[in-house]
Amino acid sequence: MDERIIQKYREDEEVMIRLFVQWCCNRDVDPAALYAAAYPTQPENPLLMAVIEGEDEQLAIDTDTLLEVLQLFGNDDLAFTVAEADSRTPKKRGQ
């Protein structure tokens, strides 16, 4: 049972990261740089880097949706940084 919960959390975390990376790509924002701005003392996130390298989807990600997902996972610092970036970056691809 505990193993299932951990696996589900990991899968959900990957979805959250994919949404974040796609949101950044839709706005020509470097996801690694934005993540580092939110968490300057953390080392490079390997899952984030893997998603960035493999990203090829073209999904429109609404800022409000991304903020809700980030906050759901307790990533309040990243949500704040995303909100700031959103206020100063032009939207494209159906945003």
Residue 21 corresponds to which tokens in the numbers above? Answer: 């990376």
Single pTM value for the model: 0.71
Looking at per-residue pLDDT, the higher value among 60 and 44 belongs to 44
Q: Which two tokens stand for residue 82?
A: 């995303």
Assigned token pair, 45: 């996130």
Each residue's pLDDT tens digit, 18-51:
999 999 988 889 999 999 999 999 999 999 999 9
Domain boundaries, the chain: 2-88
- The C-alpha atoms of residue 63 and residue 79 are separated, in whole angstroms, by 10
